[in-house]
Structure 1
Amino acid sequence: MAEPPRRDEVRAKHQARGSRAAALAALAVLGAVPGCADRPVSPLPVRPPTPAATTVGAAAPPTTAGPAPAPSTAAPPTRSPAPTRSRTPRPTPSSASAALPGACLGAVRYDLVLAETELALLKSLCLATGGVLRIRGIGPGQVTVDREDLVSRSYEAGVVDIRFVRAGTVVVTIPQEGRAYPITVVVV
Structure 2
Amino acid sequence: MNAASLRRLVVVLAATAGVAACGADAVSPLPVQPPGPSRSTPTPATPAATTMPATTLATPATPATAGSPTRPPPTSARPVPAPPAPTRTRGTPRTTPPPVDATPACQGAVRYDLPLAETEIELLRSLCFATGAVLRIQGIGPGLVTVDRPELVSQQYEAGVVDIRFVRPGTVAVTIPKDGREHTITVVVR
TM-score after normalising by structure 2: 0.47
Task: Give the structure with higher Rg (CA).
Answer: 2
Q: Which structure dedicates a bigger proportion of its chain to helix?
A: 1
TM-score after normalising by structure 1: 0.48
